[in-house]
Amino acid sequence: MNRNDALAGALVADAAAMGLHWLYDQEQISTVAASGDLLFRQPDSAVYQGKKGYFAHAARRAGQLSHYGESARIVGQLASEDAYQADTHRQRFLEAFGPCGHYVGYADRPTKTLVARMINEGAEISEPSGMDDNQMPAVCVVAGIFSAAQSADTVRTAAQVISTNEEVVASAAAVYQCLEQVLQGKSLADALSASAEAMTDTVGALMRDALAIEGYQPLETASRFGLACYVEHSMPVVWHLLKHATDFESAVRDNIRCGGDSCGRSMALGAIAGLVFGVPDSLVARMADARVPITERFV
């Protein structure tokens, strides 16, 4: 079992989902699947026309990262180089998502808010720098910090660079706890249960509800808990998918089949499934972003 597979898993799962990200119509996704594999689809606005969804990735090409994956890559690169520092995290974030940044594509509200604060406040920016937002972007930090064998406290610090919402920070901590327990030899089922039990908020209760569902019902579970970007939607769906996962690729594909914020869910699902099952070289080979190989795992 290799810590680096958590980061690899998050990045690969994100890129695999990006082409159908934020398509909320499960029936349409099934129709798309009939024309070829759901993984690593080229973003196509025609797929979204007349359907419930938001076409965000016109500037991206198949195999590239979404803004979620780019955020995870930034932290992974930083954590692999040296001890994590929040100010360096923000600087790398600005270099990616700020004016003339190297990431070309959609930016969500937490990303725009952090960039604006950095531009307006500069070196005087206060800690923590994130906004009170209960969506998934801050969970992006977990895979890279875990892969670099850094601490749970570092996860909290890094998450709060992007979001100060306590349910989001707790969700990031739950992903980290699950990864650590799997690495220490716990079964995936036990690690999922223990990490959900450790959460005392509403999101934790929903995660426990998802684990209690009889049988594997990915699409129905996603529809029940919600397909949007909020942690109370994403985390229960991820825990249900992982409870029944048997390999990395099928877990990633089922995440896409669920629809909605598949890239956001990839930050948790891809990291944990990557650590548990390993990331197939055949999927790594489909990554198009030349900056993804940030560790020896990808060389």
Residue 120 has pLDDT above 90, yes or no: yes
Contacts for 48 with CB less than 8 Å, ≥ 6 apart: 23, 54, 55
| pLDDT value, residue 299 | 32
Nearest in space to 247 (alpha carbons), one of 202, 219, 283:
283
Taking the C-alpha atoms of 267, 270, 273 and 275 in order, what is their torsion angle to the nearest 10 degrees?
-80
* pTM for this prediction: 0.95
Residue 229 has pLDDT above 80, yes or no: yes
Which residue shows structure tokens 């019902």?
A: 217
Helices and strands counted in the chain (H then E): 16, 0
| pLDDT value, residue 1 | 86
Q: pLDDT digit string (tens) for 148-192?
A: 999 999 999 999 999 999 999 999 999 999 999 999 999 999 999
Q: Where are the domains of the chain?
A: 4-298
Tokens of 87: 């100010």
The mean pLDDT value of the chain amounts to 93
Mean pLDDT of 258-265: 98
Q: pLDDT digit string (tens) for 67-117?
A: 999 999 999 988 888 778 999 999 999 999 999 998 999 999 999 999 999
Mean pLDDT of 9-28: 97
Where does the pLDDT of residue 296 fall: very low under 50, low under 70, confident under 90, or very high at 90 and above? very low
What fold is seen in the domain 4-298? ADP-ribosylglycohydrolase fold (1.10.4080)
As a whole number of angstroms, the distance between CA 139 and CA 156 comes to 10
What amino acid is encoded at 154 in this protein? Answer: T
Tokens of 135: 């969506």
